[in-house]
Amino acid sequence: MASQESIHDIPMLINQFLATADDESLVYKRFSRELAQLIANGELSLLQFIQNLGSSLTSDNDLIRIKSVQCMTSTFQDLDKSKLSKQDIHVVLQFFIAKFDDKVCLIHILQGLNSIILFNNFIPSINGNYNLLLTTLLEKYDPKKSLAKIRYEPFQILKTLFNNHLKYIQSKPADQDLFVKAFIHIASGEKDPRNLLASFDLNSDINQHLSFDPQNELHEEFITDLFDVCFCYFPIAFTPPANDPYKITANDLKVHLRNTISSQSLFAKDSFPSLIEKLTSTNPTVRNDVLKTLLLCVQNYNNETLLQYWLTIWDSLKFEILHNEAVVFNPTLNIIIPNDFESKIDDSDENKSLLFTLQILMELANVMNQENQLENYLSTVTEELKKNLKSINDKTFKQSVVLLSSLASVSSESFNFILKFLFSAQVWGKLIRSDVDEKMDIEEVPSKQETEIDINEVDQKQSEDVVFNVSKQRELIENFGFVLSAYHILSHKDSSFASGGNNLKLYKDHLLIFLGQLLQTSSNIEKTLKCKVIQQLIKLTLLHGLLNNQDYSLIFGWLNDILSNSIDYSVTNWEKDMVLTEIINGLVKCMTDEHGPAKIENAHATETSLTNNITLVIDLILPTLLALLDNVQSDDEMVNFSKILKIIDTLCVNYQFLDVLTVRLLNKLSQFNQLTLSTDSKLFIFKEIIDCFISSFKKTQSVNQFLTNSWYKNFVPRFLNVVLQSDDKTVIELSGVLIGLIIKYIDKSKHQSILNDFVGCFLLNQSNLNINVPGVTQQVSTYIGLFNNILSSVDRKTNFEEALGYSIFNLIDNISKFAYSSFNEDIDEYYRIGYLQNLSILVNKFTKQNDETNGERISQLVFEIEKFNNSNTELTKNQIETFEIFTWILKALVLRSDRYGFQYTDKLIDWLNSSNLLFAQIVSEAFYIIMIDLPIFTTQSVVVPGQKSVISGVSNLNVRLLYKQQLFEIILPKLISGYEAGKNQEIYLNSLSIILNNISTAILKPHLNEISPLVLKSLNINNSLILEASLSTFEIIISESPDTVTPHLSNIIPKLLSLVSSKKVINKQLINTEKIRLLALKSLMGIFTSIDLPNVIPYQKSAINKLEIALDDKKRVVRKYASDVRQVLYELGRS
């Protein structure tokens, strides 16, 4: 390499490297990079570089020599990989090899060798580079005499050679053999976790990319050694040391070791016997590790190898299934092996072994099918399991069925073979099939004509060996579910399976007859048997391509009959009957797709089955239940009416059902209104049906959102005309909730028209939608709550004045009159509050943000309020109601963060300091109205997970997301300063308590330090509301900021104990209610578990004694929590 004269001071650079080489900040790399750049630029030749290092390379001082070799290595690492010539490479290679005996420099020598391999001109065949390098490792490197960090470097050398020169290694058998020898040499006896990972990975690479001749003695020796240098660590146990810089986990080592063992088919002669031997371990973690490794071997070894060992594997693994409990397998599910079980079930769980075993045997079935040996494999399996299946009570019966079903799920060929076996005369045929001949061969399959048998023609006389008791019947039916699971798995894996011929179709009619007989003829006492039959019938309805329309009708007819018979009004709690519950749950299951179309390959198949099932439930089951509603003819039967409606509501899980249900229930609503029942019973029916509407609607929308545009013309008018015949508050309120939900799911573009219609109905005496409603401004209307829900639900961008035809403020004035009792002395308080809420909705939603007219009107109200604020006389009802109007308007403005809302909130706080205590108390209560989340101002629609808005695009609320946080930031400092001023302290605390009860913990947490003093003082006030809020907040303070509490323990703990253990009554009213006693106990628990031990130990004994009284509390929940706290106290200070 030629060079031009350098202007750099080379010795200085080298000395700077040597001086900083111990620096962990890697400052020295700056100097080696500069040296590398000089070589790359031609300013420094390789010879000059080595000459400048010369004296230090041969220094008698070990440290200098080490750093000198490090300087050379580091420079080559940083050097452009195209800059050294072939001759340079060989020279440097010889230099490093010549230094191999200098053991103190060995790590840097090895790193240098590795860096040389990466250069473009490192050609293995030139100058014998490859042989020279590997021979040196074999002859001059002794891993047993080197530290772990040094032993890591030879692995890196081999890895670099392998990655960069694989074709060369593969081209010559002698070079391949040399590479394998070198690997075995450096890998033997390794113990370091990082080095083991490198060893396992390199071993896997060798197995996957290099070929071995099993007839070659040397290669046979290699295979043995390669297996030994990995399997000697199995099962690997490793606990990562603290502060491990490499972040290696035990699982990393296990996974890499498994991959290595399974990377070479020629390992089979050693791996299978060795792994099987380790299955005898009683440690489930070890057994699961073995089975995971076996599974990988079966998945990765070639088919030829597996053909040699499948019988050995079967003979060893069958006992894993047969000799263990099979509780992990559930015959009601559509899967046999649970999804993601490997991550969800801990390795220490015995059940995991069963699942891995099944996976291994299923993988073997796949291989045998590919090699046309499936029949041989399955014949061996079935022959061995036949004895377990002949006796249903055999303790291995379930395990055998699970094993066979899992194999059946592998392919259509395996499914058909195993179905033939199970339905043969010698196994289940004698129990299920009516066409069996005791001499029938196992391979015989009945024709289609033979299976079409009428249920009435079934011969009930069975031979003695066929008759079996109820216990056996339950066992057989339950386990048959695994066979159906196999069908389900295959039909969703291969669409041709269900559409083509399969043996379950051949036996289907016999199976249906058998199940139908058991369901209909078994004793009503045998409810468990009936439930198991129902489970499998439901499962049958979800199997694609198996049943025809007649079969579906037959099954749902049976279920309908049993359901009808199970509803027995003469039996108390008939709705809890387990058979009825099983039918309802089953019907829900057969109408819902538990997988979801995106998760299965054959989504259309599932949709077809679901459509059939939904249609039959609507056509058969729903009419039966609705007819049962008609049987309720007396007031005494209202409870049964409610129970049947709950069943109907449970079944409403999709739009098709809901669509039919709404029409039919609406008809029922009209019919029931004509019955000669008491008024209370009619109202009860109305409420129950409307509740059912609301629940079913929400549930259906939560599954899959749908627009309700058609409902507006078809359902809403009819419904309202029926409902408006009632003036019951609850009925009207519930009706409003339902109509509001329907409106929210109507397309946004139609909302102005909807608003026009209802404003016309409720305000303008128009008969829109064929509904006649007395105007809410003409007289006190019982329908004001309905109108409020409608106004709350329309989109906030609608124009109210367009619908009204005149100024909204004129309407607000008119509505305000109804908030005064003096305007209508007979007005019910419920309706008066309804008008106040209506007023709030109008201001909040339909007036402009920061509208000056709102400012003027609220200012006028303040002017009126100031008059009685400054008076010490008792407030009149009219004055109180004026204040209420102010409060509801203020709420409307605060909700949307209107500037007038925050401006007049300050005025509200000022009034807390009023010298008129009665007025100050009323002001304090106003915070409840402002802070509470009312349904008309909160989201009532149901949003499907993953969707941010309703399908209609409607945004009906005019409520700012962070309004409470903004309001709290404004109010809190003023409440604290007002309290500290010393006047009306209890009123300030009451106000704070109301606010704290209506805000989230997230809003509260940043202000705990500010609130803590007030909360601590509040514990001494005998007011339930204040105590409840204070204790709730105190619990958060203890959790988030225990240091705040510590200085006050001497006062707090006795107070809390007093609240728990003594009865506090003022003016005949219990102060420490159940909730307060429970909150006090939770606070005590927090104190004794969160605060440092030395601070709480002094209170241990007194607390234990005091809490003994609470063990006799009338409320169980209080007794239980008191016991828990005392247990914590007893254990306090014990290690």
What would the mean pLDDT of 873-902 be, rounded to a whole number?
A: 94
Residue 635 has pLDDT above 80, yes or no: no
Token pair recorded at residue 1005 = 């947490």
Token pair recorded at residue 503 = 């043996």
Determine the residue type at 526.
Answer: E
Residue 593 has pLDDT above 70, yes or no: no
| 3 state DSSP class of 365 | helix
Residue 1071 has pLDDT above 90, yes or no: no
Alpha-helical regions (H) of 997-1073: 1001-1004, 1008-1018, 1024-1040, 1042-1045, 1049-1061
Q: H or E segment at 1066?
A: strand 1065-1066
Distance CA 338, CA 557 (A): 32
Question: What average pLDDT is seen over the chain?
Answer: 90
Distance CA 1010, CA 767 (A): 58
Token pair recorded at residue 316 = 């060893």
Where is average pLDDT lowest: 72-86, 495-509, 714-728?
495-509
pLDDT bin (cut points 50, 70, 90) of residue 727 is confident
What would the mean pLDDT of 448-474 be, rounded to a whole number?
A: 53
| Ramachandran sector of residue 141 (left: φ over 0; alpha: ψ -120 to 50; beta: rest) | beta
pLDDT tens digits, residue range 539-556? 999 999 899 999 999 999
What would the mean pLDDT of 410-439 be, rounded to a whole number?
A: 86
Q: For 416-492, list the strands marked E by DSSP.
A: none
Amino acid 948: pLDDT? 61
Distance CA 321, CA 359 (A): 12
Distance CA 808, CA 815 (A): 10
Per-position DSSP letters for 226-247, written without gaps between them: HHHHHHTTPSP---PPTT-TT-
Amino acid 23: pLDDT? 65
pLDDT bin (cut points 50, 70, 90) of residue 441 is very low
- In contact, 732 and 726? CB cutoff 8 Å: yes
Where is average pLDDT lowest: 11-15, 25-29, 288-292, 518-522?
25-29
Q: What angle do CA 692, 697, 702 make, to 5 degrees?
A: 130
Distance CA 476, CA 453 (A): 22
Least Cα distance to 173 among 183, 181, 163, 161 occurs for 181
Where is average pLDDT lowest: 782-791, 836-845, 938-947?
938-947
1065 secondary structure, DSSP code: E
- For the chain, give the percent of residues with pLDDT over 90: 71
pLDDT tens digits, residue range 269-322? 999 999 999 999 999 999 999 999 999 999 999 999 999 999 999 999 999 999
Distance CA 203, CA 193 (A): 15
**Paired residues of 1065 in beta bridges:** 1070
What would the mean pLDDT of 842-864 be, rounded to a whole number?
A: 96
Where is average pLDDT lowest: 27-36, 433-442, 745-754?
433-442
Residue 438 has pLDDT above 60, yes or no: no
**Virtual torsion, Cα 1124, 1127, 1128, 1133, nearest 10 deg:** 180
Residue 1071: count of CB within 10 angstroms of its CB: 17
Least Cα distance to 194 among 138, 160, 147 occurs for 147
Amino acid 868: pLDDT? 83
- In contact, 547 and 541? CB cutoff 8 Å: yes
Listed ranges 601-605, 757-761, 776-780; the one with the highest mean pLDDT: 757-761
pLDDT bin (cut points 50, 70, 90) of residue 455 is very low
Determine the residue type at 246.
Answer: Y
Distance CA 692, CA 647 (A): 10
Distance CA 613, CA 619 (A): 10
Least Cα distance to 201 among 271, 252, 133 occurs for 252
Q: For 139-194, list the strands marked E by DSSP.
A: none
pLDDT tens digits, residue range 149-188? 999 999 999 999 999 999 999 999 999 999 999 999 999 9
Where is average pLDDT lowest: 416-430, 758-772, 945-959, 1113-1127?
945-959
- Which comes out higher in pLDDT, residue 583 or 678? 583
Q: What angle do CA 763, 765, 767 make, to 5 degrees?
A: 120
Residue 598 has pLDDT above 50, yes or no: no
Residue 602 has pLDDT above 50, yes or no: no
Task: Name the phi and psi angles at 1069, rounded to 5.
Answer: -120, 130
pLDDT tens digits, residue range 36-92? 999 999 999 999 999 999 889 999 999 999 999 999 999 999 999 999 999 999 999
